[in-house]
Amino acid sequence: MTPLLEARNLRVAYAGHRALEVPHLQLAPGELVGVVGANGAGKSTLVNALLGWSRGHPRVDGQVFVRGEDVSGMATHARVARGLSLVPEGGAVFMRLTVEENLAAAGPLDGSDRPAHSLDEIYALFPRLKERLHHLASALSGGERQMLAIARALRLGPSVLLLDEPSIGLAPKLVTEVLRQVRSLVGPKLSVLLVEQNLRAAIEVVDRLVLLERGRILAEGPVAAMRDDPRILQAYLGEAVA
Ligand SMILES: Nc1ncnc2c1ncn2[C@@H]1O[C@H](COP(=O)(O)OP(=O)(O)OP(=O)(O)O)[C@@H](O)[C@H]1O
């Protein structure tokens, strides 16, 4: 089966400093893959490179394919039109707009043939957003704001959702809730690459784990096999395992 998303020999360097070197990574239809690793491991660099987007001006080499099509030379908007959608770290919502306005401002790009989630589907997925339609995004809780950011990304009609640390800054109960909701989104039409520093929470929802350390894949595999992998615990000692 053709992977939905595939990276080959993906390398990213900031000012000559290698931040990422991934020989191969792929995401199958209906899969939820967790990318875990400590601060600075290269998780954001990875998802940003997949989307062709960056903070700063890194040098990016290698190839990215979406459903078998080489998108490496394409701009971010062209990759979005082909089915990639990113919720960056910290979410991406307009704080001074209401929930309703935030959702209305998000939709498929011109020229995209991707069917977006309808507003009714969004409200069914996130009933809390429906209850808060007329609230400003700035007045939402951290968890609700993250749901709004995810909902906005779904309005672009993605087949692959890239989520960069959706649990950051959330209370433990909300982390579980948001990640469960992420799990419930995954199906034949939507795969998710979930960047997560919270290893414990990620293990509960993902199918497969990729452990990054200093820009390289240290270990990867089905979550059942990775759960007790000593390399995982070692990489996290003193960090997110607590
Ligand atoms: N815009 C940039 N300019 C220069 N170096 C950068 C830039 N962005 C990231 N880096 C460096 O690249 C490496 C990987 O950073 P990245 O943000 O991808 O890690 P991360 O795993 O997402 O970390 P965190 O969990 O803290 O967000 C780090 O050494 C970081 O300092």
Average pLDDT over all residues of the chain: 89
Nearest CA among 34, 5, 30, 65 for reference residue 221 = 34
Cα gap 32→199, rounded to integer Å: 14
Question: What integer pLDDT is reported at residue 170 of this predicted model?
Answer: 84
Q: ipTM of this predicted complex?
A: 0.96
Question: What integer pLDDT is reported at residue 105 of this predicted model?
Answer: 85
What atom in ligand 1 is closest to the CA of residue 54? 1
Boundaries of every domain in the chain: 5-236
pLDDT digits (tens, 9 = 90+) for 181-191: 899 999 988 99
Cα–Cα separations (whole angstroms), residue 7 to 3, 51, 122, 176: 10, 11, 30, 29
Pocket test for ligand 1, best of 11, 21, 45, 53 (most atoms within 8 A of CB): 45
CATH fold, domain 5-236, is Rossmann fold (3.40.50)
Question: What integer pLDDT is reported at residue 159 of this predicted model?
Answer: 93
Question: What integer pLDDT is reported at residue 240 of this predicted model?
Answer: 45
Q: What are the mean pLDDT values of the chain's consecutive 10-residue runs (242 residues total)?
A: 94 94 96 94 95 89 96 93 90 92 81 74 91 95 90 92 90 87 92 92 93 94 86 63 41
